[in-house]
Each structure stands twice: as structure tokens, then as C-alpha cells.
Amino acid sequence: MTERVVLAYSGGLDTSVGIGWIAEETGAEVIAVAVDLGQGGEDLETIRKRALDCGAVEAVVADARDEFADGYCLPALQANSLYMDRYPLVSALSRPVIVKHLAEAAKYHNATTVAHGCTGKGNDQVRFEVGLGALVPDLKVIAPVRDFAWTREKAIAYAEERNLPIDVTKKSPFSIDQNVWGRAVETGFLEDLWNAPTKDVYSYTEDPALNFGAPDELVIAFEKGVPVSIDGKPVTMLEAIQELNRRAGAHGIGRLDMVEDRLVGIKSREVYEAPGAIALITAHQELENVTVERDLARFKRTVGQRWSELVYDGLWFSPLKDALDSFIAKSQEHVTGEIRLRLHGGSAVVTGRRSAESLYDFNLATYDEGDTFDQTLAKGFVQLWGLPSKIAAKRDQKG
């Protein structure tokens, strides 16, 4: 029986050329697997047909938008996941769902090898291969761009020689990866850290410096940490992201320009757009401030940071990440209520909060009539709280 290779297929130059190249080099049949995560652009049927025209014996296309939103974006939202306190894991979140579909296709088609188009300088090679190692540990993995120095020039020449149905004349100055959770842009003139992004870098957001007129004010309702409605209209997780991509993006919200620490040890300059993700995380964080007990909230911030690092580093399927998932899910039991957001001028600002699960007690918080806080208890509390520091200070001052 002829060996089979399952290829993570995007429909672009490198993976389209990779179909024929892998078949020629290995003698194997290539099965292309494309996954729709809400990235827009070409429809799945067009991508499927291109894969077959480029030599794939079969092309598997999966509409995983709801799966991605519910199973990957929602956990990130509940973790308030921001790598380096800024990046909402646009690409990192998408890789494990692609890996899952690759593993399923490999099992179904009795493939011996999985292939991807990642380079040796980025994070994605780790995310793909570590994920595959967790789900299908006996399969081999090949990466033509990384392992065989497959350059863009070689890919173009290969496509032209074989008349492959790929547009190789247009070359974007950027490397772009996008899905419904956001958009990542790198390379080109952005590699010079002094160069400011130009307007053609952006697609999901309008320029926040423009005059947008009146702010857009909306109310997001959550149940146990899950967004369930916007302005009273029920939404799925996918619909919530799409609606806020549209409305927050129209006000320039979610633009990030940062130098981040890649897993492989180098720093890279990345420009991100994530209007829906940033708006949802802003609202969710504030609802947690209202409904989550202090010590749980403090520890959860540490857990969220570690969760983000694990996902960024390609360890979605790791035991630690699974354990942190359980903690985060427990922390969401009382995260129910409504948050009012004002979208304007590049910012999503919380202007209102209400929840039947609120831990905010007006009569304890107020300084006006109705104050029920017993201030006579405070003096002794302060003295006892500071006692260890006071004793240590007396000791240290003896010297």
C-alpha cells in the first residue's frame, strides 16, 4: 500500500507547491487538510479544488469556526489570556485545533507522516509538532520549508515549471496569519523596529485617530464566564466575536504593535489586530472584578499568565494546561452579569456593571449615609497586619 502524508494546507504558495514536492520526494500520496477558523478570503470549495489541482489525492476541508470559538477562544477569554500582558494569542490558539484535524485525518486515512509549512525560526513548528506528538505520537513529521531550505524563490520556480494554479506574481511585503480571534502581521519593513506601521498593514480595524462621531455603547451579558447576549440579543461565542470585531474594529480598537519573546529564543516585532478579543477580555475582566473573591482573583491572574505561556509555547495538550483549565472553569461559577462598554477612539471602556452575583456591597463601600462598615475594627486590624514588619524593623534598626 502506498504511504500517505497528511499536509496542513492553507491554499497559499508554500503548501500548494508542497503537495507535488512531497509526493515526488517521498513517493507518498498527499492528503491536504484545510481548516476554516474564520480567516475570511477564499471559500473552502475553492481551496479544496486547488489542492486537488496541485496533486493531492484527496482534500479535506473543515468548517471549524464554531469549534474554534467555543473550544479555544472561550477558554482564552475565561483565562483573560494575554501573552506578555498584551497579545491575545491569535495564532497560538489556532494551531491546536488545526493539529486536532490533522491527527483525525491521519488516523482516518492511515497516514504515516504529517507535513506542515512552518519555518525553523518561528513558534508554529513547535505548536504543530508538539501537539501532534501528544495526539499521534507514532507519526513522522516533515517540514519542507525548514528541513529542506525551501525558499520562496524555489517555490515560485517549482510552480511555474509545473503550471500549478497559483498566483505567484503578487508578493505581499508581510507575512499574515488571521482567524476570527484576530490578525497577525510580521516581516517586510516591520522588521526595522523604528518603522511605524502603514495603513496597509491593517485590515480588521479602522484608524483610531479618525473622527468616528458618536461612541458606540453596548451591553454584553455573561453567564458563568460565557458571553450570551449583546444588547439583549442572544449570541453564540462565534457571533459575539464577529459582532465585536465589526463594532470595535470600526473604532480602531485592538491594534497592537509589540516586540515579543518567541519560544525559540529570539525577539520578533509583531503587529496584531484583535478588536473582538480585546473588547471581550476587557468586559470579562471587569465582571470578574465584581464577582470573584479577592484571593481567588489574585491567584487566577497568575494562573491566566501561566496558561497563556503554555498555549503560546505549544503546550495546549499538556497535563499542566489541562489542570489549569479545571481551575479556570471553577473560577467562572459566579461570573454572571452585564457589562456596559463604550467603544470610541481606539479604546473599549467599561462604563457600567451589574450582577446578581456581585460581591460589591454599597452599604459597606459608601462614605455617605447608610455606611454599615464598623470602622472601630480597623485600628486593631492594622496593628496586627503590620506586626511582623514592625518586629523585623526593630530588629534591623538595632544594627
Q: Which of 53, 66, 162, 175 is catalytic?
A: 175
Once rounded to an integer, what is the mean pLDDT over residues 331-344? Answer: 98
Establish whether 36 is a catalytic residue.
no
Q: What is the pLDDT of residues 283-292, one digit of tens each?
A: 999 999 999 9
What's the pLDDT score for residue 382? 94
In the CATH hierarchy, which fold is given to the domain comprising 181-354? Argininosuccinate synthetase, chain A, domain 2 (3.90.1260)
What's the pLDDT score for residue 54? 92
Once rounded to an integer, what is the mean pLDDT over residues 169-185? Answer: 83
Establish whether 175 is a catalytic residue.
yes
pLDDT class for 351, splitting at 50, 70, 90? very high
Q: Which of 4, 124, 183, 247 is catalytic?
A: 124
- 70 marked among binding-site residues: no
- 74 marked among binding-site residues: no
Q: What is the pLDDT of residues 239-283, one digit of tens each?
A: 999 999 999 999 999 999 999 999 989 999 999 999 999 999 999
pTM confidence score: 0.93
For β-strands 233-234 and 29-36, DSSP reports them as unpaired
Which of 84-88, 182-186, 369-373 is the least confident region?
369-373
Q: Give the span between the Cα atoms of 337 and 359, in whole angstroms.
A: 12
- 357 marked among binding-site residues: no
Report whether pLDDT(136) > 90: yes
Select from 3.40.50.620, 3.40.250.10, 3.90.420.10, 3.40.50.2020 the CATH code of 4-63+90-172: 3.40.50.620
Q: What is the pLDDT of residues 197-246, one digit of tens each?
A: 999 999 999 999 887 789 999 999 999 999 999 999 999 999 999 999 99
Establish whether 14 is a catalytic residue.
yes
Q: What is the mean pLDDT of the chain?
A: 93
- 14 marked among binding-site residues: yes
What's the pLDDT score for residue 87? 95
- 268 marked among binding-site residues: no
What's the pLDDT score for residue 362? 87
- 9 marked among binding-site residues: yes
Q: Which of 50, 95, 183, 247 is catalytic?
A: 95
Report whether pLDDT(25) > 90: no
- 355 marked among binding-site residues: no
What's the pLDDT score for residue 160? 82
Q: Who has greater pLDDT, 77 or 365?
A: 77
Once rounded to an integer, what is the mean pLDDT over residues 76-86? Answer: 97
3-state SS of the chain is CCCEEEEECCCCHHHHHHHHHHHHHHCCEEEEEEEECCCCCCCHHHHHHHHHHCCCCEEEEEECHHHHHHHHHHHHHHCCCCECCCECCHHHHHHHHHHHHHHHHHHHCCCCEEECCCCCCCCHHHHHHHHHHHHCCCCEEECHHHHCCCCHHHHHHHHHHCCCCCCCCCCCCCEEEEECCEEEEECHHHHCCCCCCCHHHCCCCCCCCCCCCCCEEEEEEEECCEEEEECCEECCHHHHHHHHHHHHHCCCCCEEEEEEECCCCCEEEEEEECHHHHHHHHHHHHHHHHHCCHHHHHHHHHHHHHHHHHHHCCCCCCHHHHHHHHHHHHHCCCCCEEEEEEEECCEEEEEEEECCCCCCCHHHHCCCCCCCCCHHHHHHHHHHHCHHHHHHHHHHHCC
Among 121-125, 322-326, 362-366, the range with the most confident prediction by mean pLDDT is: 322-326
Report whether pLDDT(121) > 90: no
The domain limits of the chain are 4-63+90-172, 181-354
Q: Give the span between the Cα atoms of 373 and 368, in whole angstroms.
A: 11
Q: What is the pLDDT of residues 143-173, one digit of tens each?
A: 988 888 777 788 888 888 887 877 655 566 7
